[in-house]
Amino acid sequence: ETGVTQSPTHLIKTRGQQVTLRCSSQSGHNTVSWYQQALGQGPQFIFQYYREEENGRGNFPPRFSGLQFPNYSSELNVNALELDDSALYLCASSFARLAGGYRETQYFGPGTRLLVL
């Protein structure tokens, strides 16, 4: 059973550019959540994907978008990067059966550290 992996580990971009971050969920999981953690702060919920559809979104602008693929891996895309987008981006996967209100613990990846200059 493999854990949650993220790529790349580090990334440097300039303002206005676009970035794609990737997350491979743990085997057997169907839900992926993305979080942004600024330095010295707790993580902020960006959005969650469940079985390829967005299932909940935090207070992030539309330039933050995502995808979940049939194998339940996921991408986070950020357009028109701003300096404040510099942060650690974490993804977490879990298993859920939303119809029955059943959710298991989330397992976190190591994160992608993004620096916007």
Partner 1 sequence: KNEVEQSPQNLTAQEGEFITINCSYSVGISALHWLQQHPGGGIVSLFMLSSGKKKHGRLIATINIQEKHSSLHITASHPRDSAVYICAVSFTTGGSEKLVFGKGTKLTVNP
Question: Which residues, other chains included, contact 42 with Cβ-Cβ below 8 Å and sequence gap of 6+?
Answer: none
Residue 66 touches partner 1, criterion: CB under 8 A:
no
Question: Which residues, other chains included, contact 101 with Cβ-Cβ below 8 Å and sequence gap of 6+?
Answer: none
CA atoms within 13 A on the CB side of 91: 31
CA atoms within 13 A on the CB side of 56: 13
Least distance (Å) between residue 69 CB and partner 1:
20
Binding mask 2-31 for partner 1 (x = CB under 8 A): ------------------------------
Q: What is the enclosing helix (H) or strand (E) of 29?
A: none
Least distance (Å) between residue 82 CB and partner 1:
21
Residue 44 or residue 86: which is nearer to partner 1 going by CB?
44
Q: Looking at 18, 41, 77, 79, which residue binds partner 1 (CB under 8 A)?
A: 41
Here the tokens at position 70 are 């049939």
Residue 58 touches partner 1, criterion: CB under 8 A:
yes
Residues that bind partner 1 (CB under 8 A): 33, 35, 37, 41-45, 48, 55-58, 88, 90, 92, 98, 101, 103-108, 110-111, 113
